[in-house]
Amino acid sequence: MLTFIKMEFLKLKRSKIFLLSILMAALPSILMFIATFAFDETQSFDALFSTVNMYMSALFAILLFSIIISYLFGREYNEHTLKTMLTIPISRGKFLVSKYVMFLIWILILTVVTSLSTLAFGFAAGLTGFTLQLFINSFAELLFANILLFLTFSPFVFIS
């Protein structure tokens, strides 16, 4: 199974979707950075983290995760590697589990990118009220929401 995960990372190295997903993970932070100047309100890091987490969890992550999961599974069919993969003496369960693990790793990377971009844009906007505990709590909230979204995508894959 570790071989499949390494293989998925090698496939991602060639694709542009990984870079696009990282840019989309940073998009809520960029939008809130622009909003701090547009509304001329003094905001704090607490408001920034909560708004970015809300937008990421409610809107951007659902779209982004559906694109990622369809890419991970659809690529095998489109590139005609699914026929080759099924002839290798490995169970289909391990193949599916490795895809899900890769999806989870990708989600974790995007969660880190979202949190760090929020932090960077918050400092660039000159916001006040940053504490390390606030950053850790915000990261934990976003990670929990993304893990729950990860778990909701499993039935959709089996249906499709």
Look at residue 52 and tell me whether its pLDDT is greater than 80: yes
Domain assignment present for 88: yes
Greater pLDDT, 110 or 94: 110
Look at residue 82 and tell me whether its pLDDT is greater than 80: no
Look at residue 91 and tell me whether its pLDDT is greater than 80: no
Domain count, the chain: 1
Look at residue 42 and tell me whether its pLDDT is greater than 70: no
pLDDT of residue 22: 94
Average pLDDT of 114-122? Answer: 96
| C-alpha separations of 42 from 21, 127, 129 in Å | 30, 8, 11
| C-alpha separations of 124 from 7, 92, 113, 121, 153 in Å | 38, 48, 16, 5, 35
Domain assignment present for 160: no
pLDDT of residue 13: 80
Look at residue 56 and tell me whether its pLDDT is greater than 90: yes
Both structure tokens of 135: 């950053």
Angle at 100 between CA 99 and CA 102, to 5 degrees: 65
Q: What is the mean pLDDT of the chain?
A: 87
Look at residue 71 and tell me whether its pLDDT is greater than 80: yes
Domain assignment present for 113: yes
In angstroms, the CA 38 to CA 126 distance is 14
Average pLDDT of 137-146? Answer: 97
pLDDT, one tens digit per residue, over 7-33 is 788 878 878 999 999 999 999 999 999
What is the domain range of residue 114? 2-154
